[in-house]
Structure 1
Amino acid sequence: MVHLKMAKENVDYKKLQTDLEQQELESAGGVAPAQVYNQLLALYLLHNDMCNAKFLWKRIPQTVKSSTPETVQIWAVGQKLWLRDYPGIYEALKKEWSESISQIMEAVKAATRERAKTLVSKAYSSIDADDFAVFMGMPLSEAIQAATQEGWTYDSATKYIKPTKPVMLKDPELLSEQQLSVLTDYVSFLEA
């Protein structure tokens, strides 16, 4: 079984994911330990790989789901991510996590905030500071501080944040599935 190293900078999440996928494939009787499913599900959420997360959820045996409440809690985060329910995502992430999963769930929170910040910078010329705080899952003062650290401007009179557009380098070639995922993210974000 793969265990996370305690130092965050030493964890290679892609390699860990590959190792866990291999463990699932090689598990005796086709049922892996709950910790393998939990870590793998959390890593799919971290990498925003919602399709694999959904397929994993469907193939996790019901006995594991019913005997391991943490598995259900991780999937609750996945459901909120799927719906792009930002307040719900951060609320679901507040749960107590076991030692084997807490570091990954912290990384999920950080990655979610980073994706939200990127989407805001691409989709908005200005955004209400309260709305930005909701997207970031932070108190208003912390959200304003996070925005100004990015070089964005905050107008205290109007309470609006003006993000700077990210510097666009030549877009890498995306597979059609990736293009569809990126487009879906933009449209879903704008509808929220």
Structure 2
Amino acid sequence: MDFSAVIDAVASQSYDQIAGICDTLMLQVASDGVAFRYEWPYAVHLLGHIYINDVNSARFLWKMIPLGVKENEPEVSAVWKIGQKLWGKDCGGVHEAIREFDWSSESHGIVVAFSELYTKRMFELLLSAYSTISIQDAALFLGMNEDDATKYALQQGWTVDPAYRMLTVKKQAVATEQKLDPSRLHCLTEYVFHLEH
């Protein structure tokens, strides 16, 4: 079976393309009636779906993976553990699942890239949801120890209150300036005038 497109996507760090490539290959192989059950790169395929935050597709893929693969390929189970934590919205658990497995060379780059992407997503979530947050909670969301979470937040312009162990979120400036186009104002005025008369 030719996995060169998958290998190329991993080598070029095009992690967002892996799920689509693997899905297409899987459909091709299935339509040809070729047995692929045990040689398929299940861990990489699952990671591809997890990387693009497509947990539903990862769940369906997990269900079709042969039991023998699930039982005998620890990396496949380790990837699925990340998927389970994502499904359960267990932010700290996602980071834990990433850290507790010794990833193969095929999966390592994807896992590292996903970890960075997930940390960025969680930071953006904190940014939009909080005005202040405890250092402990921020560390849990970001998958870091408290010192690293504090440093990360400070690099993003947040402030820290060491006495209360709280971080104050620095909201992004929102551009509210709108330019008024005189022709649009004229059209709106005529429309309102027409409605009133």
Which interval holds the TM-score relative to the shorter structure?
0.7 to 0.9
Q: Where in structure 2 are there 5+ consecutive unaligned residues?
A: 177-197
Q: Where in structure 1 are there 5+ consecutive unaligned residues?
A: 171-192
- Letter in structure 2 aligned against 1:15: Q
The answer to whether the aligner puts 1:13 opposite 2:18 as a matched pair is no
Aligned match of 2:37: 31
Aligned match of 2:69: 64
The answer to whether the aligner puts 1:84 opposite 2:86 as a matched pair is no
- Partners of 2:27 and 2:55 lie apart in 1 by 20
Aligned match of 2:153: 147
Once the two structures are TM-superposed, the CA of residue 112 in structure 1 deviates from its matched residue by: 1.6
Task: Please give the secondary structure, in 1, of the residue aligned with 2:102.
Answer: coil
Confirm or deny: 8 A CA contact 2:17 2:48 kept in the other structure: no
* Paired positions, count: 165
Confirm or deny: 8 A CA contact 1:42 1:105 kept in the other structure: yes
Aligned match of 2:108: 102
- Letter in structure 2 aligned against 1:61: P
Once the two structures are TM-superposed, the CA of residue 26 in structure 1 deviates from its matched residue by: 2.3
- Partners of 2:173 and 2:111 lie apart in 1 by 29
- CA separation of 1:48 and 1:167: change in aligned 2, threshold 3 A: farther
Task: Please give the secondary structure, in 2, of the residue aligned with 1:161.
Answer: strand
- Partners of 1:167 and 1:32 lie apart in 2 by 52
Confirm or deny: 8 A CA contact 2:134 2:165 kept in the other structure: yes
- Partners of 2:43 and 2:152 lie apart in 1 by 31
Partner deviation per Cα, 1:97-129 (whole Å, 9 max, x = no partner): 111111111112112211111111111110001
- CA separation of 1:78 and 1:169: change in aligned 2, threshold 3 A: farther
The answer to whether the aligner puts 1:45 opposite 2:45 as a matched pair is no
- Partners of 2:174 and 2:111 lie apart in 1 by 30
- Partners of 1:108 and 1:14 lie apart in 2 by 10
- Partners of 1:98 and 1:144 lie apart in 2 by 31
The answer to whether the aligner puts 1:133 opposite 2:135 as a matched pair is no
Confirm or deny: 8 A CA contact 2:92 2:140 kept in the other structure: yes
- CA separation of 1:16 and 1:169: change in aligned 2, threshold 3 A: farther
Aligned match of 2:193: none
- Partners of 1:167 and 1:25 lie apart in 2 by 46
Runs of 4+ in 1 over 6 A off after TM superposition: none
Task: Please give the secondary structure, in 1, of the residue aligned with 2:160.
Answer: strand
Confirm or deny: 8 A CA contact 2:134 2:167 kept in the other structure: yes
- CA separation of 1:34 and 1:65: change in aligned 2, threshold 3 A: farther
- Partners of 1:45 and 1:16 lie apart in 2 by 10
Aligned match of 1:174: none
Taking structure 2 as the reference length, the TM-score comes to 0.76
User: Pairwise CA RMSD of aligned residues?
Assistant: 2.0
- Partners of 2:20 and 2:94 lie apart in 1 by 25
Identity %: 32
